[in-house]
Chain A
Amino acid sequence: MASKVDWFACGMPREGAATDVPWAGDLVSDDAPTCVPDDRVGEVRERVLASGYDFCVVVNDERIVLGLLRGDALGKDEDVRADEVMELGPKTTPPSEPVEGLLEARSSQGVKNWLVTTSHGALLGVLSRTQAEQAME
């Protein structure tokens, strides 16, 4: 088969001492709003407002993360396509990343949410800083 790393990177279950330590994939929520590239900003904005999040993840038909819509991009004209204003290739995190390490990483300072994806880039969900911090208490 591929490898242990690949297995875990797809968010598959594990056994062993590592189960004592929460990984990003253990805590993801799958309720973050998503859209496809040709969705219009107007409808995406409505989706975001209803979700409680302040962003929308742009994915393709296989849920591969393509971009992110947030901030000013969500305020664009309602007929603008998502892929015209999205941030390309947002940073993602593998599900096998220990949560403690995520919180401590310098690159994570100021990050409110992590997009958790498989090794192929498919969106598994979103891990919020609040969820991560609660898990480490």
Chain B
Amino acid sequence: MHGMIDLEEVERLVEEEDGQLVDVMSRKSYEESHLPGAINISLKELDEQSAALLQRTKPVIVYCYDYQ
């Protein structure tokens, strides 16, 4: 299941379901600022190999810079 979620749901998933936060922006952007606990897999790097870093049994929350 996938879809857009709000900030409260992000917090709930991280706290209650051990959700995994994925920052899909560049390494530079990630190093500048990211959500606590997020890992960085930029869109350019996103493939089967990098996605294997994620646990399939837990929620994955992907975010980018803005809506645009």
Cα(A33)–Cα(B29), bound, Å? 37
Quick check: is A17 within 8 A (CB to CB) of the other chain?
Answer: yes
A1-B4, A1-B63 as given contacts; A16 in contact with B33, CB under 8 Å: yes
| Chain B 34-58 near chain A by CB (<8 Å), digits 1 or 0 | 1111100000000000000000000
Find the A residue at minimum CB distance from B11. A12
Taking CB atoms and an 8 Å cut-off, the chain A residues in 1-16 that contact chain B are 1-8, 10, 12-16
CB neighbours (8 Å) of B63 from chain A are: 1-4, 7
Select from chain B the residue with minimum beta-carbon distance to A18: B33
Pick the contact of B33: A1, A6, A10, A15 (CB < 8 A). Answer: A15
Interchain CA distance A14-B25 in the complex, whole Å: 15
Q: Number of B interface residues at 8 Å Cβ cutoff, please give it.
A: 24
CB distance from B21 to the nearest CB of A (A): 9
Instruction: Determine which of A1, A15, A16, A17 lies in contact with B6 in the assembled complex, contact meaning CB atoms within 8 Å.
Output: A1
Interface of B is mostly: loop
Contact call B64/A18, Cβ cutoff below 8 A? no
When A and B form their complex, what is the total count of cross-chain residue pairs whose Cβ atoms lie within 8 Å? 63
CB of A21, distance to nearest CB on chain B (Å): 10
> Chain A residues near B23 (CB, 8 Å)?
4
A10-B7, A12-B7 as given contacts; A5 in contact with B35, CB under 8 Å = no
Contacts A2-B7, A4-B23, A10-B7 hold; do A16 and B66 have CB atoms under 8 A apart?
A: no
Asked if B5 CB lies within 8 Å of chain A CBs, one says: yes
CB contacts (< 8 Å) of B31 on chain A: these are: 16-17
**Max chain A Cβ within 10 angstroms of own Cβ: one of B10, B34, B61:** B34
Q: Which residue of B lies closest to A8 (CB)?
A: B33
Q: Mark A9-36, 1 if CB is under 8 A from B, else 0.
A: 0101111111100000000000000000
Assess A4 versus B64: contact at CB under 8 Å? Given A15-B34, A16-B31, A18-B33. Answer: yes
Q: How far is the CA of A28 from the CA of B10 in the complex (A)?
A: 24
Whether A3 and B33, one on each chain, are in contact in the complex, defined by CB atoms closer than 8 angstroms, is no
